[in-house]
Structures are given as C-alpha cells and as structure tokens.
Amino acid sequence: MKSRYFRRLDPLIYLGILGVFLTLGWNIIGMEVQQASKVEVYVDGDLKHVYNLQMDQRFIDVDTNLGGIKLELKDNQVRVVTSNSPLKLIVKQGWAKYPGDTLIGIPDRAVVKIVGKGREDDVDFILR
C-alpha cells in the first residue's frame, strides 16, 4: 500500500526528470560540429608532418621505423594505403574523416590524426 506522501510528490519527481532531459536535449542541439581541416602525422610520438585536408587526391610518403607508410588525402578524408608492417592493421582501419579520428600503426610507430577547426580558446584540460 502506497502512502499519500509519495502520491503527492510523484508529479514533482516527473517534472524534475523531464526538466533534466529537456536541458540535456537543448545542450546537445546547441553543440557545434567541428569541420576537419588538418592531418597530423606522429612518428615515434613526435609530430613530424601537418597537412591540410583537400578535395583533390594526393599521396604522401612518410618515413617510419619499418620503411614508411603512404597516405592518401581525398574528399577531406585520409587513409593509409600501404604499410610495411606485417599485419597492415593501419591500412585496414580505412578512412578517417572526423576531427579526433585516428589511424594507429603499432609496429610502424605511426599515428595519423584528424584535427578540426576549433576556436583558439578551447581548452580540453589543464594538468598541473
């Protein structure tokens, strides 16, 4: 048997839950979608190359520990076409097209990362 106290508070609880979901939905709708603008290539953890994404097809060779990888830039996307690693996992990852997408080659020690056009004052975190 339910008490009267909970029956009176039920509409307030439902309104509170509805308010939380409306606030979350409003924030999601207002989020900006970043446009991919550049490709950063890291070898051995060091930033080696930065390329602008473009609509035209372009091939780029990058030297790594195992001999190198070949990048293809096309339609504002990037992928690794060839690699000298045994399993070629970085090639099998396919196209990267959104900011934050990464292609990682473990034996090559290579990371290809898409960077977006963001505001300059955006800070993810500060570590002290």
Predicted pLDDT of residue 83: 92
CA-based nearest residue to 108, from 79, 70, 80, 69:
69
* pTM exceeds 0.85, yes or no: no
Question: Which CATH number does the domain 36-116 belong to among 3.40.640.10, 3.30.450.20, 3.20.20.10, 2.60.320.10?
Answer: 2.60.320.10
Q: What is the structure's pLDDT at 82? A: 93
50 vs 118: which has the higher pLDDT: 50
Residue 104: CB partners within 8 Å, gap ≥ 6?
89, 90, 93, 110, 111, 112
The pLDDT of residue 60 is: 92
pLDDT per residue over 19-76, tens digit each? Answer: 999 999 988 887 777 778 899 999 998 999 999 988 889 999 999 888 889 999 999 8
Of the pLDDT bands very low, low, confident and very high (cuts 50, 70, 90), residue 116 is confident
Name the band, by pLDDT with cuts 50, 70 and 90, for residue 17: very high
Could you report the per-residue pLDDT of 61-90, keeping only the tens digit for each?
A: 999 888 889 999 999 899 999 998 888 899
Q: What is the model's pLDDT at position 10?
A: 86
Residue ranges of the domains in the chain? 1-31, 36-116
